[in-house]
Structure 1
Amino acid sequence: MIFGLFRRNKGDETIRSLYGAIVAQSRNPAFFRDHGVADTVEGRFEMVVLHIFLVLHRLKEEAPERRELGQALFNLMFFDLDRGLRELGVADTKVPKRIKKMGEAFYGRVKAYDDALASGEPKQLELAIARNILGQPAAEASALAAYVRAAAADLSALPFEHLAGGRISFPLVRHGGQS
Structure 2
Amino acid sequence: MGLFSRRRGNRQVVQRQYGVITTTARQPCFYTDYNVPDTVMGRFEMLSSVMILFLWRTAKSSDSGKQLSQEVVDAFFLDIDYSIRELGVGDNSVPKRMKKLAGMFYGRLERYVRCLQDRDLGQLAIALSQNFHGVESEPVDMAELARWMLANADHLARMDEVMVETGMVSFLVPESTEVARG
TM-score, structure 2 normalization = 0.88
- Compute the RMSD of aligned alpha carbons: 1.8
Equivalent AA in structure 2 for residue 67 of structure 1 = K
The amino acid that maps onto 1:148 is M
Distance 2:62 2:52 in 1: 18
Q: Is the CA contact (8 Å cut-off) linking 2:85 and 2:91 kept in structure 1?
A: yes
Contact 2:42 2:132 in 1 (8 A): yes
Residue number in structure 2 paired with 1:18: 17
Residue in 1 that maps onto 2:165:
164
Q: Please give the alpha-carbon distance, in whole angstroms, between the structure 1 residues aligned to 2:120 and 2:34.
A: 20
1:132 to partner: Cα distance: 1.2
The answer as to whether partners of 1:46 and 1:132 remain within 8 angstroms in 2 is yes
CA contact (8 A) 1:14 1:164 kept: no
Q: Counterpart of 1:156 in structure 2: which amino acid?
A: A
2:28 alignment partner in structure 1? 29
Counterpart of 1:69, as a letter, is: L
Return the letter of the residue paired with 1:87.
Answer: E
- Matched AA of 2:164: L
Q: Measure how far apart 1:172 and its partner are.
A: 1.9
Q: Percent identity?
A: 34
State the shift of 1:159 in Å: 1.2
CA contact (8 A) 2:58 2:164 kept: no
Contact 1:129 1:145 in 2 (8 A): yes
8 Å CA contact 1:154, 1:171 repeated in 2: yes
Comparing 112-121 and 144-153, the one that deviates more: 112-121
Shift of 1:66: 2.6
Deviation at 1:170, TM superposition (A): 1.2
Match of 1:82 in 2: 81
* Distance (whole Å) between structure 1 residues aligned to residue 119 and residue 175 of structure 2: 23
Q: Is the 8 A contact 2:18 2:72 kept in 1?
A: yes
SS of 1:77's equivalent in the other structure is helix
Q: Which runs of 5+ in 2 are unaligned?
A: 1-5
- Using the TM superposition, give the Cα deviation of residue 100 of structure 1 relative to its aligned residue in structure 2, in angstroms: 0.3
Provide the rounded CA distance (Å) in 2 between the counterparts of 1:95 and 1:73: 20
**Counterpart of 1:61?**
60
Distance 1:62 1:164, change over 3 A: closer
Deviation track 1:96-143 (CA, whole Å, cap 9, x = no partner) reads: 00000010001000001011112222211111111112435222x111
User: Which protein is bigger by CA-based radius of gyration?
Assistant: 2
Judge conservation of contact 2:30–2:174 (CA < 8 Å) in 1: yes
Output the CA distance in 2 between the equivalents of 1:59 and 1:8: 20
Aligned residues: 172
1:68-93 Cα deviation digits (max 9, x unpaired)? 11111111111111111111111000
1:137 equivalent in alignment to 2:139: yes
